Copies of this chain bind each other. A is one copy, B any other.
Amino acid sequence: MQASKRYDAVTFGEIMLRLSPPGTQRFAQSTVFEKQTGGAELNVAMGLAALGLRPAVVSRLPDNEISRYLARQIQAGGVSGECLIYDADPNARLGIYYYESGAAPRKPSVVYDRKNSAVNHISPREIPDELYSQARLFHTCGISLALGGAVRQTAAEMMHRFKQAGALVSFDVNYRANLWGEEEARAAIEDILPLVDILFISEETSRRMFQKQGELKDIMKSYCAQYGVQVVATTQRQVISPQKHHFGSLIYGAQEDVFFTEEPYRDIQVIDRIGSGDAFVAGALFGLLQYGDLQRSVEYGNAMAALKNTVTGDLPCTSLQEVNAVIAAHHGGGVQSEMNR
- A-to-B contact residues, CB < 8 Å: 19, 22-35, 64-66, 68-69, 72-73, 75-78, 90-91, 93-94, 96, 98, 100, 102-113, 115-116, 176-178, 237, 239, 241-243, 265, 267-269, 271, 273, 303, 306-307, 309-313, 317, 319, 322, 326, 329-330, 337-341
A and B contact pairs by CB, cutoff 8 A, 27 listed? A24-B311, A24-B312, A27-B66, A28-B65, A28-B69, A29-B311, A30-B35, A31-B34, A64-B111, A66-B111, A72-B76, A72-B77, A93-B113, A94-B113, A96-B96, A102-B339, A104-B267, A104-B268, A105-B307, A105-B326, A105-B329, A107-B329, A107-B340, A108-B339, A110-B340, A178-B341, A273-B338
* Contact between chains at A32 and B22 (CB < 8 Å): yes
Known: A66-B98, A76-B73, A239-B338. A115 touches B103 (CB 8 A): no
Copies in the complex: 6
Name the residue on B nearest A177 (C-beta): B341
Name the residue on B nearest A25 (C-beta): B312
* Contact between chains at B27 and A69 (CB < 8 Å): yes
How far is the CB of A16 from the nearest CB of chain B, in Å? 12
In the complex, besides A23-B23, A24-B311, A107-B338, 7 extra interface pairs with C-beta distance below 8 angstroms are: A29-B311, A31-B34, A72-B77, A93-B113, A102-B310, A107-B329, A109-B339
Name the residue on B nearest A176 (C-beta): B341
Which residues from chain B contact A32 at a C-beta distance below 8 Å? 22, 32-35
Complex Cα distance, B104 from A326, in Å, reads: 10
Which residues from chain B contact A241 at a C-beta distance below 8 Å? 267, 269
* Contact between chains at A35 and B33 (CB < 8 Å): yes
How far is the CB of A328 from the nearest CB of chain B, in Å? 11
Name the residue on B nearest A65 (C-beta): B27
* Contact between chains at A110 and B23 (CB < 8 Å): no
Which residues from chain B contact A29 at a C-beta distance below 8 Å? 311-313, 317
